[in-house]
Amino acid sequence: MVFGNYARRYEKAGISMLTDTLCNKYDHLFSKSKENIVHIGYGIDDNYMRCTAASVLSICRHNPNLHLRFHILTSTLSADNKKKLRNLAELIQTDIVLYEIDTSFFNTLPTFVHLPVSTYFRFILPSILNEEERVCYLDADIICLSSIEYIFSCNLENAIAAAVPDLEWMNKKRCSALSLKEHTYFNAGMLIINIKEWNSFHVMDKVLALFKNDPVRFRYLDQDALNIALHNKIIYLPKRYNCIDSFAEDKEKIVFLHFAAHPKPWNIAWPISRASTVFRKDLYAQYEKETPWADMPLQMPLNYKEMKVYAKALLYSGQKVNSLKWYCKYLYKKLRR
């Protein structure tokens, strides 16, 4: 389905030109319920499709009474992954809507090897869902461990979004780097977006202006920029709604577990890494194995950063020779980039 008319409809509503980036839309609507839709969105590329599927399935498993609709924004998705995504929707009887994005609008924005252009796709969600009240944006490396009903019923008042404070060391480091006073730095991997307030505040325009003025300042790209743009306009949720440090939280109360650091649970380094604790080791895999991506092998390093992570994991597991080999590969790849 070509998205042209859809985009023009929102232009008439006064929504940002972001909707011009939408090329195609594919509806996979298999939910038996037709009322009280709960909207959840992701921005991904091909490398994050398998974990998006695990994330979607985990949410459905822990929220069988909610009518869930997942909005997946991507620029590069293989034909095989598109087919599997439709199969996933049918398998778990849920709604999944896939949007193909023209990335030319984002070409001037900074990216890193571990933060590709898809990190900016979250900004399109409130324009697409302009007629809805709220949407939950999730990073694809998040899995759900319990009910999410509260985040769709909590009072956002006039706040633009609700988010969770980042780790304490990150809070101090980034507030200092960004000269943020009387601010709690939040992790943007989980956002409950108040759509009307977000669109009225023109969040993307403010983020673009920040990047234009001082792009080098933003080590964490849009997350840094959002912390500046949404200063004093955020409601903070308990850390169990975006749990990065599972050691610090009551494991029985975690709602969203965020595998924010590297390696990721689908990486070859994961089983032998320090991050693969007794609690976390098999959590992700138990959901992925129920998806059409169940038979995929663990992913080998895709870039020099992942090579370094793998080398460290090998050293941690006592494989010194293999670790040295991968560390040399890391140095070679880094110097040639």
Residue 4: what pLDDT? 38
Q: What is the pLDDT of residues 37-50, one digit of tens each?
A: 999 999 999 999 99
The predicted model gives 292-320 an average pLDDT of 97
Strands 186-194 and 161-165: antiparallel
* Tokens read off for 178: 């960004």
Question: Shortest CA distance to 197 belongs to which of 164, 227, 151, 157?
Answer: 157
Q: Which amino acid is at 110?
A: P
Among 54-58, 126-130, 157-161, which range has the highest average pLDDT? 54-58
Residue 17: what pLDDT? 53
Q: What is the pLDDT of residues 117-149, one digit of tens each?
A: 888 888 889 999 999 999 999 999 999 999 999
Report the distance separating Cα 130 and Cα 151, nearest Å.
19
Place of tokens 């980034």: 174
Question: Shortest CA distance to 188 belongs to which of 209, 170, 169?
Answer: 170
Q: How many CB atoms lie within 10 A of CB 72?
A: 25
Report the distance separating Cα 63 and Cα 153, nearest Å.
14
Higher pLDDT among residues 109 and 240, named by residue: 240
Residue 307 has pLDDT above 90, yes or no: yes
User: Quick one: what percent of the chain has pLDDT higher than 90?
Assistant: 75
Residue 194 has pLDDT above 90, yes or no: yes
* Tokens read off for 47: 């490398």
Q: What is the pLDDT of residues 201-242, one digit of tens each?
A: 999 889 888 888 887 788 888 899 999 999 999 999 999 999
- Predicted confidence band at 22 (pLDDT cuts at 50, 70, 90)? confident
Backbone dihedral angles phi then psi of residue 248, each to the nearest 5 degrees? -95, -5
The answer to whether 72 and 42 are in contact (CB under 8 A) is yes
* Tokens read off for 53: 């599927």
How far is residue 298 from each of residues 55, 100, 266, 290, measured CA to CA in Å? 17, 26, 5, 16
Report the distance separating Cα 9 and Cα 273, nearest Å.
49
Residue 18: what pLDDT? 59
Report the distance separating Cα 55 and Cα 40, nearest Å.
11
* Tokens read off for 303: 């870039």
Residue 19: what pLDDT? 60
Question: Shortest CA distance to 138 belongs to which of 66, 195, 70, 206?
Answer: 70
Q: Where are the beta strands (DSSP E) in the chain?
A: 22-29, 37-44, 67-74, 95-101, 134-138, 142-144, 161-165, 186-194, 234-236, 256-258
Residues in the chain: 337
Residue 153: what pLDDT? 93
9-30 b/e with 16+ CB inside 10 Å = b?
ebeeeebbebbbbbeebeebee
Question: Shortest CA distance to 270 belongs to which of 317, 320, 305, 319?
Answer: 317
Q: Is omega for the bond preceding 165 within 30 degrees of 0, making it cis?
A: no
SS3 256: strand
SS3 1: coil
Residue 249: what pLDDT? 81
* Tokens read off for 248: 């610090």
Residue 16 has pLDDT above 80, yes or no: no
Report the distance separating Cα 196 and Cα 142, nearest Å.
26
Q: Which amino acid is at 264?
A: K
Q: What is the pLDDT of residues 110-125, one digit of tens each?
A: 777 666 788 888 888 9
Question: Shortest CA distance to 70 belongs to which of 97, 88, 46?
Answer: 97
